[in-house]
């Protein structure tokens, strides 16, 4: 029987029960962290600085009071400006789309001491632009901020931003990329240039927190909040990573959205319009090909944020700029909460992500090929006693070598022939069966399980 919405079932074979307290009530965000973030993101969305000589670069969205979205050249101009202005900012090209557009990664802060790393992935779906606008203004605000609180935040936090994760889709106004593929369903197979570039960033920069910014279409009156959020539901998430992700969503981002005047709920859950009690789940499962879940399998605290794209009122229908400003402002409220959480809870975050990365070397515990934190895995979806590793023939390894490398999976020559052996005893332990076990829904190739441990 499926447990109530939002509760993680105890799998048939699993480690011990979760630590208590992960589902308690609303948590008050401490004033110091919020003050730092409020200062960092204090530049108004649509108001120009009064001193033209010191005017900050603005997005096309801001320049038109939200009447249109920022164009590709306007984005390039803004990123060039912040890169020139601030030595705390660098902009790198990390890939190229099928149609030749650049994939740019912006790095802000970090300092010289070991830093917590936050990664923002903005508008993987090209027809969901509000998250991108929030990311572009956040980049600018952080780059130009001069207050002490922001300098302190950036001295101990590295913020990475992929402001346009799907440039071809953005240009065409389509959900998918130039090949018609959904980038947010490609974080296992890595068929798209966009997902491959992002996988390399996650492998090389090992972010502690990943926020994935999206938009959704409402279904009133059951599914029509201003802002929906969700943590990774995959059962392959380390317990502490899962619980910290849920804590970020429920105790930080949702309360911050409410404080900013926006309604908020859990993504994928329809609720009764009178009692706000859950009615059914329509989205938000545990499949790891989605970034929200892939992030957790790769040891990051993950968060999905979805702003409502539909007009809320007759006024918004008459003047679309009203609704577009509301969409961006709700995303900015979520960003502020994520930055405050990262600054306030860095010790908890680092402990959770470090434990998750180290757990793979222990090489014990089940791996799940299905199920979610609110959907019990079927017995056939549980590798209760996973193999020691997988053997690949030379031909099969050649077919998936690049993808394994992008996922951070290590291998060694197989002593029994010219093939390759992929041991599970490594940080990518729970990712490997998803890629190589023939029973996994989205596996890349059929590896031969080695059970002779």
| pLDDT at res. 3 | 39
Is 371 a residue whose pLDDT tops 70?
yes
pLDDT for residue 257 is more than 60: yes
67 torsion bin: left (phi>0), alpha (psi -120 to 50), beta (else): alpha
For the chain, which domains are there? Answer: 31-357 (3.40.630.10), 368-450 (no CATH)
Question: Residue 6: what pLDDT?
Answer: 41
Q: Provide the percentage of residues in the chain whose pLDDT is more than 90.
A: 84
> What pLDDT shows up at residue 30?
40
DSSP string over 145-207: --SHHHHHHHHSEEEEEES-S-HHHHHHT-SS-TTS--GGG-TTT--SHHHHHHHHHHHHH--
pLDDT tens, position by position, 307-363: 999 999 999 999 999 999 999 999 999 999 999 999 999 999 999 999 999 999 997
Beta-bridged to residue 93, according to DSSP, are: 104
Q: What are phi and psi of 138, to 5 degrees?
A: -65, -40
Q: What is the mean pLDDT of residues 416-426?
A: 91
Q: How far is CA 249 from CA 26, 29, 286, 296, in A?
A: 10, 12, 16, 14
Say if CB 308 and CB 225 are below 8 A apart: yes
pLDDT at 392 over 70: yes
DSSP-assigned beta bridge partners for residue 405: none
Amino acid 38: pLDDT: 53
What is the spatial distance between Cα 264 and Cα 333, in angstroms, rounded to a whole number?
Answer: 11
Measured from the Cβ of residue 204, the count of other Cβ atoms closer than 10 Å reads 11
Q: How far apart are CA 213 and CA 211, in angstroms?
A: 6
Whether pLDDT at 297 is above 50: yes
In terms of Cα–Cα distance, which of 245, 227, 265 is closest to 338? 245
> Does the structure show a pLDDT above 70 at 77?
yes
Q: Place 19 in a pLDDT band, splitting at 50, 70 and 90.
A: very low
Q: pLDDT at residue 18 above 70?
A: no
User: Treating both helix axes as pointing N-terminal to C-terminal, what angle do 394-406 and 193-205 enclose, rounded to 10 degrees?
Assistant: 70
pLDDT in tens, 149-164: 999 999 999 999 999 9
CA distance 421 to 213: 37
Q: Find out whether 355 and 238 touch, Cβ atoms under 8 Å.
A: yes
Work out the pLDDT band at 31, boundaries 50, 70, 90.
very low
Mean pLDDT for 39-43 is 51
User: Where is pLDDT greater, at 192 or 44?
Assistant: 192
Quick check: helix, strand or coil at residue 367?
Answer: strand
Task: Give CA–CA dist 159/110, Å, rounded.
Answer: 7
Q: Using 50, 70 and 90 to split pLDDT, how confident is the model at 364?
A: confident
Decide: residue 102, CB within 10 A, 0-12 exposed, 13-18 middle, 19+ buried. Answer: middle
Checking if the pLDDT of 66 tops 70, the result is yes
How is 82-105 classified by DSSP, letter by letter? HHHH-TTEEEEEEEE-TTS-EEEE
Residue 40 clears pLDDT 90, i.e. is over it: no
Q: Taking a C-beta distance cutoff of 8 angstroms, is the pair 197, 171 a contact?
A: no
Could you read off the pLDDT of 109-168 as tens digits, one per residue? 987 777 899 999 999 999 999 999 999 999 999 999 999 999 999 999 999 999 999 999
**Taking residues 415-436, what's their average pLDDT?**
94
CA–CA gap between residue 110 and residue 386 (Å, rounded): 38
* Average per-residue pLDDT for the chain: 90
Question: Is the CB of residue 232 less than 8 Å from the CB of residue 284?
Answer: no
Q: What is the pTM of this model?
A: 0.91
């Amino acid at each position: 029987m499926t447990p109530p919405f939002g509760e993680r079932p105890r799998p048939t074979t699993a480690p011990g029960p979760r630590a208590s307290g992960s589902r308690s009530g609303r948590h008050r965000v401490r004033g110091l962290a919020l003050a730092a973030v409020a200062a960092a993101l204090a530049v108004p969305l649509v108001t120009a600085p009064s001193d033209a000589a010191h005017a900050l670069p603005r997005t096309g969205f801001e320049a038109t009071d939200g009447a249109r979205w920022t164009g590709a050249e306007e984005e390039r101009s803004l990123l060039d400006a912040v890169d020139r202005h601030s030595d705390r900012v660098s902009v790198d090209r990390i890939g190229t789309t099928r149609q030749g557009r650049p994939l740019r990664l912006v790095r802000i802060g970090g300092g010289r001491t070991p830093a917590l790393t936050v990664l923002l992935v903005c508008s993987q779906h090209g027809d969901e632009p509000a998250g991108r606008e929030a990311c572009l203004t956040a980049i600018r605000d952080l780059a130009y901020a001069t207050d002490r609180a922001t300098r302190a935040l950036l001295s101990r936090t590295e913020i990475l931003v992929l402001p346009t994760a799907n440039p071809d889709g953005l240009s065409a106004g389509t959900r998918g990329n130039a090949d018609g593929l959904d980038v947010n369903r490609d974080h296992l197979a890595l068929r798209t240039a966009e997902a491959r570039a992002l996988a390399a960033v996650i492998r090389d920069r090992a972010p502690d927190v990943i926020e994935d910014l999206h938009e959704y279409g409402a279904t009133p009156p059951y599914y029509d909040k201003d802002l929906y959020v969700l943590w990774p539901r995959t059962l392959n998430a380390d317990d502490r990573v899962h619980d910290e992700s849920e804590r970020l969503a429920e105790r930080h981002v949702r309360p911050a959205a409410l404080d900013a005047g926006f309604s908020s709920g859990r993504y994928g859950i329809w609720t009764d319009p009178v009692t706000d009690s859950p009615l059914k789940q329509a989205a938000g499962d545990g499949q790891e090909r989605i970034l929200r879940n892939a992030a957790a399998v790769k040891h990051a605290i993950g968060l999905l944020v979805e702003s409502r794209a539909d007009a809320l009122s007759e006024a918004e229908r008459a003047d679309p700029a009203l609704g577009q400003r509301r969409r961006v402002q709700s995303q900015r409220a979520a960003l502020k909460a994520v930055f405050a959480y990262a600054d306030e809870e860095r010790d908890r975050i680092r402990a959770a992500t470090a434990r998750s990365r180290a757990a793979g070397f222990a090489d014990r515990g089940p791996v799940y090929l299905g199920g979610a934190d609110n959907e019990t895995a079927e017995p056939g979806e549980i590798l209760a006693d996973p193999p020691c590793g997988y053997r690949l023939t030379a031909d099969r390894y050649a077919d998936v070598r690049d993808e394994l490398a992008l996922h951070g999976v290590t291998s060694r020559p197989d002593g029994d022939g010219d093939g390759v052996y992929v041991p599970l005893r490594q940080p990518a332990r729970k990712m490997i069966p998803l890629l190589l076990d023939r029973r996994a829904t989205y596996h890349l190739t059929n590896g031969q399980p080695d059970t002779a441990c």
